[in-house]
């Protein structure tokens, strides 16, 4: 995919297609002339700006964060000028004048803003930041708009392919393919609750149970298919990816519209010139428009309204489909571009997407989302280990270097009970009462516990109650559902981190926890009989810690907060332990 000044990317297979050399298509019966070439950098830049505008428009038009649960965060006016006085003006200028240097400054501002929120960001925000970093490097190399586009687009395409492959790769866990705790039936039950009724598809019926049981294989196959097609058949990949992301948008509770629109705005990377062609004259109107209107009606019915992410996604989907039906074809010249940038983009994507969870430096915000990945305490992945740094420093014999022992050591903790509001908010972050009753009935009907935990969302929305409340996560459900708080297991690092948050709020609380062996399963962790630590803390900082006798100064609960640098990357997934759990970990979002 190596765009040039005269052909929007290349001839198709070195030959005319339907009488045209430009993008392999005619436009309204006439070949495009040399002066009609598309500014590919402007096309990418404006699509990128549209994605950034989404939360701003939601706040200005709807008065709140949109229903999409994972839109980019915005700092309120009273907390600083970062977004409204810096990023927004830069975005407006970039949209109007998308030249390399304006876009460069806007991309740098975006990256700085993203890092401010880390690691309380969704995985797609890291994907976007890595692509933005690739653009910054491409722009810094200079050469004008054509050179920057030719350098950036192929590298970004490869990088995004690597990231899609990584998301599929992390579905290769034993827990993902075990219906009892897999995220796949949880998500499909939501989708079915949006599309069907209990009268049409009764919970526990043969059809409902078959659909839920095949969900893990089907969803994993779909994710691998999207990655494969985007890599080797970009046109088919974009169509398949649009369908995949739209199913996410249709979920009543886990409406991850931020992920969908983030990727949708970047599909121009795979089909350069597609939007420009779709905006031109074409007979392809009825079918793409009908599809998008029908889907929009379904979105309105399910979500009782629409937000900016929904409207923009469907608008861009219409343009992509119209452009494809008008005959647009991607370049046949391969990836092309600058070899150094393409190599660097692939390397960065691979290290983040595949190696970070293996090492244990990222969990939430990595590509493991919804994969039922056991991030520590022994892997459940079919191909690779996880949490190697934590595993190494869990051994008391491994004490050097001291900073690494402090960062990754301490082993595992089973939190048996706590009265801390902050700790209870962040874990187990019970969200069962927020599920649609029909969705929960479907899950119970197929033999799952029918429980849902929003561990990831609880951290990303921490101290953002208004945004949390306006998202689809909290828009419906059955608040009369009562469930007991389960114990949970987490690395010592996370206990120290969350304790520091509770202490900053001046909370008075009691905490009971038990250190457990590193290697284990939910069942073995639940049954382990060890020496329990009891911490009683007052809001003024006074505390008592007993472990049969007064605790040593080295006790985990008495340690200072973790090192700041690591807290900018690592939010581990705690592991709720439910009655009946054996080897596999339960789904959480």
CA-based torsion, 389, 390, 396, 400: positive or negative: positive
Q: Determine the average pLDDT of the residues in 456-467.
A: 90
Say whether pLDDT at 481 is over 60. Answer: yes
Q: Mean pLDDT lowest for which of 31-45, 191-205, 211-225?
A: 31-45
Count the alpha carbons within 13 Å of 210 in the hemisphere toward its beta carbon. Answer: 4
Q: Determine the average pLDDT of the residues in 146-170.
A: 97
CB-based contact 94:49 (threshold 8 Å):
yes
Please name which of 249, 240, 296, 298 lies closest in space to residue 267, comparing C-alpha atoms.
240
DSSP letter (8 states) at residue 352? I
Q: Which residue has the tokens 């209990």?
A: 198
How many CB atoms neighbour CB 256 within 10 A?
25
How many CB atoms neighbour CB 138 within 10 A?
28
Mean pLDDT for the chain overall:
91
In sequence order, what are the residues at sequence separation of 6 or more whose Cβ sits closer than 8 angstroms to the Cβ of residue 240?
222, 225, 226, 229
- Provide the 3-class DSSP secondary structure of residue 510: strand
CB-based contact 352:366 (threshold 8 Å):
yes
Of the pLDDT bands very low, low, confident and very high (cuts 50, 70, 90), residue 474 is confident
Supply the pLDDT for residue 67.
Answer: 85
pLDDT digit string (tens) for 270-321?
999 999 889 988 888 999 999 999 999 999 999 999 999 999 999 999 999 9
Helices 257-264 and 234-249: crossing angle, nearest 10°? 160
Angle CA 551–557–558, to nearest 5: 65
pLDDT digit string (tens) for 562-576?
999 999 999 999 999
Say whether pLDDT at 2 is over 90. Answer: no
Supply the pLDDT for residue 547.
Answer: 94
In sequence order, what are the residues at sequence separation of 6 or more whose Cβ sits closer than 8 angstroms to the Cβ of residue 22?
7, 8, 31, 32, 36, 37
Q: Determine the average pLDDT of the residues in 210-221.
A: 98
Supply the pLDDT for residue 331.
Answer: 52
In sequence order, what are the residues at sequence separation of 6 or more whose Cβ sits closer than 8 angstroms to the Cβ of residue 122?
70, 256, 258, 259, 365, 369, 456, 460
Q: Determine the average pLDDT of the residues in 450-478.
A: 84
Q: Mean pLDDT lowest for which of 23-32, 306-315, 358-367?
A: 23-32
Q: Which structure tokens are listed for 397?
A: 């014999």
In sequence order, what are the residues at sequence separation of 6 or more whose Cβ sits closer than 8 angstroms to the Cβ of residue 345?
130, 134, 155, 156, 158, 159
Say whether pLDDT at 332 is over 60. Answer: no
Q: Mean pLDDT lowest for which of 32-41, 71-80, 130-139?
A: 32-41
Supply the pLDDT for residue 520.
Answer: 96
CA–CA separation, 589 vs 251, rounded Å? 14
Supply the pLDDT for residue 564.
Answer: 95
Supply the pLDDT for residue 337.
Answer: 84
Say whether pLDDT at 11 is over 60. Answer: no
The DSSP result for 485-499, as a single string, is PPPEEEEHHHHHHHH
Please name which of 336, 400, 442, 344 lies closest in space to residue 134, comparing C-alpha atoms.
344
Q: Determine the average pLDDT of the residues in 38-63.
A: 94
Say whether pLDDT at 10 is over 70. Answer: no
Say whether pLDDT at 27 is over 50. Answer: no
Of the pLDDT bands very low, low, confident and very high (cuts 50, 70, 90), residue 149 is very high
Of the pLDDT bands very low, low, confident and very high (cuts 50, 70, 90), residue 589 is confident
Supply the pLDDT for residue 330.
Answer: 63
Of the pLDDT bands very low, low, confident and very high (cuts 50, 70, 90), residue 385 is very high
**SS3 helix, strand, coil % of the chain, rounded to 5?**
50, 5, 40
CB-based contact 8:275 (threshold 8 Å):
no
CB-based contact 181:523 (threshold 8 Å):
no
Domain layout of the chain by residue ranges = 34-348, 408-427+488-589
Say whether pLDDT at 43 is over 50. Answer: yes
Q: Determine the average pLDDT of the residues in 401-424.
A: 96
Of the pLDDT bands very low, low, confident and very high (cuts 50, 70, 90), residue 553 is very high
Q: Determine the average pLDDT of the residues in 547-573.
A: 95
Of the pLDDT bands very low, low, confident and very high (cuts 50, 70, 90), residue 423 is very high
Angle CA 63–69–74, to nearest 5: 55
Q: Which residue has the tokens 């089907």?
A: 218
Say whether pLDDT at 125 is over 70. Answer: yes
> Residue 34 — φ and ψ, nearest 5°?
-60, -30
The distance from CA 339 to its chain's CA centroid, rounded to whole angstroms, is 28
Each residue of 547-559: b (16+ CB within 10 Å) or e? beeebeeeebbeb
Say whether pLDDT at 546 is over 50. Answer: yes
How many CB atoms neighbour CB 207 within 10 A?
12
Supply the pLDDT for residue 468.
Answer: 81
Count the alpha carbons within 13 Å of 531 in the hemisphere toward its beta carbon. Answer: 8
Angle CA 146–149–155, to nearest 5: 145
Higher per-residue pLDDT: 11 or 505: 505
Q: Determine the average pLDDT of the residues in 250-257.
A: 93
- Provide the 3-class DSSP secondary structure of residue 453: strand
């Amino acid at each position: 995919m190596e765009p040039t000044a005269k052909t929007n990317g290349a001839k198709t297979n070195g030959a005319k297609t339907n009488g045209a050399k430009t993008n392999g298509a005619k436009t309204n019966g006439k070949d495009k002339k040399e002066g009609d070439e598309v500014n590919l950098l402007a096309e990418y830049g404006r699509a990128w700006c549209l994605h950034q505008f989404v939360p701003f428009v939601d706040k200005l038009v709807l008065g709140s964060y949109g229903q999409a649960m994972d839109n980019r965060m915005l700092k309120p006016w009273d907390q600083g000028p970062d977004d409204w006085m810096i990023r927004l003006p830069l975005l407006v200028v970039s949209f109007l004048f998308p030249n390399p240097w304006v876009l460069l400054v806007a991309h740098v501002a975006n990256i700085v803003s993203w890092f401010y929120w880390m690691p309380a960001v969704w995985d797609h925000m890291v994907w976007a930041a890595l692509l933005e970093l690739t653009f910054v490097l491409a722009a810094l190399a200079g050469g004008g708009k054509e050179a920057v586009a030719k350098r950036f687009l192929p590298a970004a395409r490869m990088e995004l392919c690597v990231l899609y492959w990584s998301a599929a790769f992390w579905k290769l866990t034993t827990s993902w393919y075990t219906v009892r705790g897999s995220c796949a039936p949880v998500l499909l039950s939501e989708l079915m609750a949006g599309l069907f009724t209990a009268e049409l598809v009764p919970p526990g019926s043969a059809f409902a149970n078959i659909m839920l049981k095949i969900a893990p294989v089907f969803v994993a196959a779909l994710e691998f298919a999207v990655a494969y097609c985007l890599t080797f058949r970009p046109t088919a990949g974009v169509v398949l990816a649009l369908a995949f992301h739209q199913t996410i948008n249709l979920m009543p509770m886990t409406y991850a519209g931020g992920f969908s629109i983030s990727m949708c705005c970047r599909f121009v990377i795979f089909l350069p010139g597609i939007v420009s062609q779709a905006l031109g004259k074409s007979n392809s109107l009825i079918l793409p428009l009908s599809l998008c209107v029908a889907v929009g009606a379904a979105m309105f019915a399910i979500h009782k309204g629409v937000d900016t992410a929904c409207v923009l996604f469907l608008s861009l989907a219409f343009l992509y489909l119209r452009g494809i039906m008008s005959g647009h074809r991607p370049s046949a010249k391969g990836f092309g571009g600058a070899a150094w940038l393409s190599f660097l983009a692939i390397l960065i994507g691979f290290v983040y997407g595949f190696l970070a969870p293996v090492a244990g430096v990222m969990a939430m915000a990595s590509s493991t989302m919804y994969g039922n990945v056991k991030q520590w305490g022994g892997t459940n992945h079919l191909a690779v280990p996880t949490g190697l740094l934590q595993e190494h420093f869990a051994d008391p014999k491994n004490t050097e270097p001291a900073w690494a022992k402090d960062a990754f050591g301490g082993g595992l903790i089973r939190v048996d009970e706590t009265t801390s509001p902050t700790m209870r908010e962040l874990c187990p972050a019970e969200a069962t009462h927020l599920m649609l009753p029909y969705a929960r009935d479907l899950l119970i009907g197929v033999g799952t516990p029918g429980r849902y935990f929003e561990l990831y969302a609880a951290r990303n929305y921490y101290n953002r109650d208004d945004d949390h409340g306006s998202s689809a996560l909290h828009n419906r459900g059955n608040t009369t559902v009562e469930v007991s708080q389960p114990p949970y297991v987490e690395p010592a690092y996370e206990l120290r981190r969350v304790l520091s948050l509770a202490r900053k709020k001046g909370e008075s609380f009691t905490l009971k926890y038990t250190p457990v062996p590193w290697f284990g399963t939910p069942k073995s962790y639940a049954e382990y009989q060890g020496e329990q630590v009891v911490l009683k803390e007052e809001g003024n900082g006074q505390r008592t810690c007993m472990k049969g006798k007064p605790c040593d100064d080295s006790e985990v609960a008495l340690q200072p907060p973790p090192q700041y640098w690591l807290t900018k990357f690592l939010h581990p997934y705690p592991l709720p332990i439910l009655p009946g759990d054996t080897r596999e970990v339960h789904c959480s979002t």
